[in-house]
Amino acid sequence: MNETRAARVTPRTLATTCCIAGGGPAGMMLGFLLARAGIAVIVLEKHADFLRDFRGDTIHPSTLEIMHELGLLDGLLKLPHQKVPAIRAQFGDVAVPFADFSHLPTRCKFIAMMPQWDFLDFLAGAAKRYAGFTLMMRTAAGAPIEEGGRIVGLRAADDDGAFEIRADLVVGADGRHSTLRDSIGAAVESLGAPMDVLWFRLTRRAGDSDETVGRFDAGRIYIMINRGEHWQCAFVIAKGSFDAIRARGLPEFRDDVAALAPFVRDRVGEIASWDDVKLLTVAVDRLTRWYRDGLLCIGDAAHAMSPIGGVGINLAIQDAVAAANLLTARLRERRVATDDLRRVQRRRELPTRWTQRLQLVVQNRVITRILGSSGTLAPPLLVRLLARHPVLRRIPARLVGIGIRPEHVRI
Ligand SMILES: Cc1cc2nc3c(=O)[nH]c(=O)nc-3n(C[C@H](O)[C@H](O)[C@H](O)COP(=O)(O)OP(=O)(O)OC[C@H]3O[C@@H](n4cnc5c(N)ncnc54)[C@H](O)[C@@H]3O)c2cc1C
C-alpha cells in the first residue's frame, strides 16, 4: 500500500492507515492533523455536506489557539464570524456580567461565533491540500471488521452500495449517537440531563443589541446568539416536555418567546410552524473505556457533552489533538498498540470528567431549579459575586474559554 494515500485494493475494498467515522469537529480535526503529518487517512461523513443548522457554532479561545499553532488562524478569521469577548446573563430583570475573556493568556480573547459548517468546510479545504487525505461524503460507516479479536477496518455504504475499508486504526468520531462506540463493548455511564433545547432563528434588525444574552426567568431559560443577519435562539425546556409545549399551541410558544425578549415581539410570527423549531435532546454520558484493539472513540462518541458552557466542540477538538500527538509516530510505523489507545483515554479522561462534573453542577443546581421555579427569579449567590467582583469573572472565562488541560499541537 502507498504510504500516504488511501489505496483501492479491489473495486469495493479500500485500504488506508487510519479510517475515521464522522466528519464533525473531532473527526475533521484528527483527519487534518494526521494528513498533515503524512499519514493516509479516510474520513467518512454520512451527510452530503456540513450544512446543518444548530450544530453548536462556538469556536473557543483554545481552539483558536490550536488554529494559530497550525498557521490557519488568519484564514479562519477571514470567514464571517461574530466575536464574543464577554458573556452576560439576565435573571428576571437583572442583567449580570458572568464571564470576561479579555484576560485569557491566548492569542484570541473571545469566542468566535461561526456556523459550524463554515468551520468544517475550512478544515476540509485545508486538509485536502495533503495527498494522504480522503474525505468521503454521503458515506455511512457501518460495523467494524474484526479479525482475530482485533478491529482491522469497517464496512461502509455510499450511493453505489456497500464496501469495505481496511485500516490499521479505526476512529469512532460519529457523535452522541455513535454506532461504533457499541463495538468497543464497554459500559456507558449515563449522567443524565434535566433539559432539552428548542432551536429556531429570528431576524436580527438594525437597532438590536450586539450582545449574546442568556435570560433566566421563572421556569424558563432563553438564549439569543447574535449571528449577524439573524438571532440563533435556544429555548431550554424540561426534558421530555416538548410534546406538552406543542399541545399548548404555537401562539402560546410565540408569546413565551416575546415575554422573554420583548424586542422580538414584532417578529415571533417568523416561527410559522413547528417545522421551524428543532428539538435537540441533551445527553451527558461517557464510555468507561474509549478503545479496544484497533478502535478508538473520541469526541461525543466517547463522551456526550451537555450544551452548558458550549464546550463540546472544544473538547472534541482537544481529543483530536491529543490523539494525533500520541498516535502519529505509531501510525507512521504501522504499529498502533492497544496501550497507545489507552494513553489517549488517560490523557483526555480527566478534562472530560471534570468538565462533565461542572456541567452537572450547573444542570442540577441552576437549570433544574430555574425550570422548576414559578416565582420571581433572583441571580444565585455565585452569579451575584461574579457581578460584584470583575476579577472573579476570569474563572468562568478560563473554564469555558480554555478548559482543563488544554492541548497543543506537537506534531
Ligand atoms: C442542544 C445542544 C447544543 C449544543 N451547543 C453547543 C455549542 O454551542 N457549542 C459547543 O461547543 N458544543 C455544543 N454542543 C455539544 C456539541 O455539539 C458536541 O459536543 C460536538 O459537536 C461533538 O463533536 P464530535 O465531532 O465529537 O461529534 P458531532 O459534532 O456530533 O459529529 C459527528 C459527525 O459524525 C457524523 N456521523 C454520525 N454517524 C455516522 C456514520 N455512521 N457514518 C458517517 N458519519 C457519521 C455526523 O453526521 C456528524 O457530522 C451542543 C449539544 C447539544 C445537544
- 62-106 tens-digit pLDDT: 999 999 999 999 999 999 998 989 888 888 777 888 889 999 999
Report pLDDT for 5. Answer: 59
SS3 track for 185-233: CCCEEECCCCEEEEEEEEECCCCCCCCCEEEEECCEEEEEEEECCEEEE
Report pLDDT for 9. Answer: 65
Q: How far is the CA of 312 from the centre of ligand 1 (A)?
A: 8
Q: How far is the CA of 81 from the centre of ligand 1 (A)?
A: 20
- 242-270 tens-digit pLDDT: 999 999 999 999 999 999 899 999 999 99
Among the atoms of ligand 1, which is closest to the Cα of residue 199? 1
Using a 6 Å CB cutoff, which residues line ligand 1?
21-27, 44-47, 55-56, 58, 140-141, 173-176, 179, 197, 280, 282, 299-301, 305, 307, 310-314, 316
Tell me if residue 236 falls in helix, strand or coil: strand
Q: How far is the CA of 176 from the centre of ligand 1 (A)?
A: 7
Among the atoms of ligand 1, which is closest to the Cα of residue 22? 34
Among the atoms of ligand 1, which is closest to the Cα of residue 141? 42
Among the atoms of ligand 1, which is closest to the Cα of residue 197? 1
Question: What number of helices (H) and strands (E) belong to the chain?
Answer: 12, 21
Interatomic CA distance for residues 227 and 109, integer angstroms? 19
C-alpha cell of residue 176: 452522541
Does pTM surpass 0.75? yes
Q: How far is the CA of 296 from the centre of ligand 1 (A)?
A: 17
Greatest alpha-carbon span in the chain: 68
Q: How far is the CA of 82 from the centre of ligand 1 (A)?
A: 21
Q: How far is the CA of 270 from the centre of ligand 1 (A)?
A: 27
Q: In this structure, what are the phi and psi dihedrals at residue 395, rounded to the nearest 5 degrees? A: -70, -55
Mean confidence (pLDDT) of the chain? 91
Interatomic CA distance for residues 41 and 356, integer angstroms? 30
- 145-200 tens-digit pLDDT: 999 999 999 999 999 999 999 999 999 999 999 999 999 999 999 998 999 999 99
The residue that leads in pLDDT, 203 or 371, is 203
Among the atoms of ligand 1, which is closest to the Cα of residue 311? 11
